[in-house]
């Protein structure tokens, strides 16, 4: 099993290209099931999650062609022979569950395994299923699979989510575009990934209004057509690499970065004394010395992303003062804290709140990655640590970050992958 070795090596300098958004690419791949015509996606990140979902689509009967060294995908769902999304693939990737809405909408039937993914909380699918039921689908749970059917098609409905759920919003959205009549979705996710999905569906012939607000209105259409669509920049990768010069010092330009994708993080970094400036090519971040401690509470977009909480905690470990980090989205998402403590961090966790007292310098240590974002937070911590940090179980990392050791290494970080 691979590991990443990081040795504290002083300030960073250079530029890092930001890849296409993983979460956008995965949901657009699922949306390709809604049409018989080919869907071409460009600016696709080369990640194991993308490969896994491609394998699932192929198992359903889709043709998936990888072009431009994997930077583009052409998905043809002209003939979907299999209605069952099997456990052995779905368990690897939670986003696989989002084939459910498109399959029920287009085919009138789907059998999808309950999902897997990172172990960062229960992450139930109740809201997905309740939304589909309101659209007229019949739902049964049998032997770990969701059996959904709508032999007479789906019908528009008013659906108000009790709390914001990205996955449920997107599954309901994909189902509603082919439903008869008008669907109103309230208290929906406003994430850039969700807006990008709505934009792509509209380009395929859907009629969606309100994406990016708390309410969307969808007028169902009989069919969608193919499209060529570019995946937006990955805001979580962008945010992660913004934190790198903040924690290690130096100046890095993030090519393709846009402030509106990470405004909540940019505001917090500036509050901590880090310089964030727009450039013609993206964003530039400059560490100006030891950061100041700032409090963070995760929230749905446009709030502070839960997927950047672990990275922000790494920064706060060496900040001046005491920071309070509150996690409101997922339980069990402080599993990186004990590993950071192994590096000399002072962190006290009580329920959904972590109190971090900054130290002047962390110390390298062998640590274990527990999930995708935790793994990269340990790499960031290693940039600011004295000596060598060995991050084990980095297969999590490859699900969401493309060539992290090359990108950081190009900016002067002393980092290498050890093949296991």
94 marked among binding-site residues: yes
> Catalytic site residue 30?
no
Structure tokens at 230: 């570019």
pLDDT digits (tens, 9 = 90+) for 48-100: 999 999 999 999 999 999 998 889 999 999 999 999 999 999 988 889 999 99
Comparing 251-260, 325-334, 382-391, which segment has the lowest mean pLDDT?
Answer: 325-334
The answer to whether the CB of 185 falls within 8 A of the CB of 212 is no
DSSP 259: G
pLDDT digits (tens, 9 = 90+) for 375-406: 999 999 999 999 999 999 888 888 889 999 99
Residue 119 has pLDDT above 50, yes or no: no
Beta carbons within 8 Å of 206's beta carbon, 6+ residues apart: 177, 198, 218, 221, 224
Q: Which residue blocks in 228-329 are alpha helix, DSSP H?
A: 235-248, 263-271, 309-316
Number of other residues whose CB lies within 10 A of the CB of residue 15: 17
pLDDT digits (tens, 9 = 90+) for 223-241: 999 999 999 999 999 999 9
Average pLDDT in the 5-17 region? 96
What pLDDT does residue 396 have?
Answer: 82
The number of helices, as runs of H, and strands, as runs of E, in the chain is: 13, 26
- Report how far residue 23's alpha carbon sits from residue 18's, in angstroms, rounded to the nearest whole number: 14
Structure tokens at 304: 């502070």
What pLDDT does residue 96 have?
Answer: 93
Give the three-state DSSP class for 318: coil
295 marked among binding-site residues: no
Catalytic residue selected from 62, 118, 174, 200 = 118
Comparing 44-53, 113-122, 149-158, 359-368, which segment has the lowest mean pLDDT?
Answer: 113-122
Residue 120 has pLDDT above 60, yes or no: no
Residue 117 has pLDDT above 70, yes or no: no
- Report how far residue 247's alpha carbon sits from residue 15's, in angstroms, rounded to the nearest whole number: 16
Which pLDDT band holds residue 116 (cuts at 50, 70, 90)? low
When the pLDDT of each residue in the chain is averaged and rounded to a whole number, the result is 94
Average pLDDT in the 114-124 region? 53
Percent of the chain beyond pLDDT 70?
98
Q: All domains of the chain, ordered by start, with CATH?
A: 3-19+233-418 (3.65.10.10), 22-230 (3.65.10.10)
Residue 118 has pLDDT above 50, yes or no: no
Residue 121 has pLDDT above 50, yes or no: no
292 marked among binding-site residues: no
What pLDDT does residue 122 have?
Answer: 42
DSSP string, 93-160: -GGGGGGHHHHHHHHSEEEEEPP----SS----HHHHHHHHHTT-EEEEETTEEEEE-TT--B--EEE
22 marked among binding-site residues: yes
Residue 127 has pLDDT above 90, yes or no: yes
What is the dihedral sign for C-alpha 186, 188, 190, 194? negative
Higher pLDDT, 395 or 204: 204
232 marked among binding-site residues: no
Angle (nearest 5°) at CA 412 between 410 and 413: 100
The model's pTM is 0.94
Average pLDDT in the 120-129 region? 70
What pLDDT does residue 262 have?
Answer: 98
- Identify which of 76, 86, 98 has the alpha carbon closest to the alpha carbon of residue 56: 86
């Amino acid at each position: 099993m691979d590991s990443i070795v990081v040795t504290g090596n002083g300030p960073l300098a250079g530029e890092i290209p930001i890849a296409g958004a993983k979460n956008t690419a995965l949901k657009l791949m699922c949306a390709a099931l809604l049409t018989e015509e080919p869907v071409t996606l460009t600016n696709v990140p080369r990640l194991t999650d993308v490969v896994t979902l491609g394998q699932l689509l192929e198992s359903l009967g889709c043709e998936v062609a990888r072009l431009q060294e994997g930077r583009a995908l052409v998905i043809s769902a002209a003939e979907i022979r299999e209605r069952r999304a099997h456990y052995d693939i779905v368990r690897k990737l939670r986003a696989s569950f989002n084939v459910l809405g498109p399959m029920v909408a287009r085919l009138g039937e789907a059998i999808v395994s309950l999902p897997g993914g990172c172990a960062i909380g229960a992450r139930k699918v109740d809201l997905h299923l309740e939304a589909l039921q309101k659209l007229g689908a019949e739902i049964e749970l049998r032997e770990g699979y969701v059996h959904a059917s709508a032999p007479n098609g789906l019908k528009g409905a008013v659906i108000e989510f009790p709390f914001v759920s990205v996955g449920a919003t997107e599954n309901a959205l994909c189902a509603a575009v082919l439903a008869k009549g008008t669907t109103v979705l309230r208290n929906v996710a406003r994430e850039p990934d969700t807006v990008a999905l709505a934009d792509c569906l509209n380009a395929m012939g859907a009629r969606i209004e309100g994406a990016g607000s708390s309410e969307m209105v969808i007028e169902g259409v009989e069919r969608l057509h193919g499209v060529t669509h570019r995946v937006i920049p990955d805001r979580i990768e962008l945010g992660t690499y913004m934190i790198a010069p903040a924690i290690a010092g130096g100046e890095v330009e993030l090519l393709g970065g846009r402030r509106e994708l990470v405004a909540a993080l940019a505001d917090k970094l500036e509050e901590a004394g880090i310089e964030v400036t727009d450039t013609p090519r993206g964003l530039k971040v400059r560490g100006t010395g030891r950061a100041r401690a700032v409090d963070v509470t995760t929230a749905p977009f446009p709030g502070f992303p839960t997927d950047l909480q672990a990275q922000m905690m790494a920064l706060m470990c060496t900040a001046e003062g005491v920071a309070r980090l509150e996690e409101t989205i997922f339980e069990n998402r402080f599993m990186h804290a004990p590993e950071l403590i192994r590096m000399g961090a002072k962190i006290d966790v009580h329920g959904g709140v972590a109190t971090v007292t900054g130290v002047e310098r962390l110390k390298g240590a062998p640590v274990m990655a527990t999930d995708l974002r935790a793994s990269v937070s340990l790499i960031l911590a290693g940039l600011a640590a004295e000596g060598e940090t060995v991050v084990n179980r980095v297969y999590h990392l490859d699900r969401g970050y493309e060539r992290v050791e090359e990108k950081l290494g190009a900016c002067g970080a002393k980092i290498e992958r050890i093949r296991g």
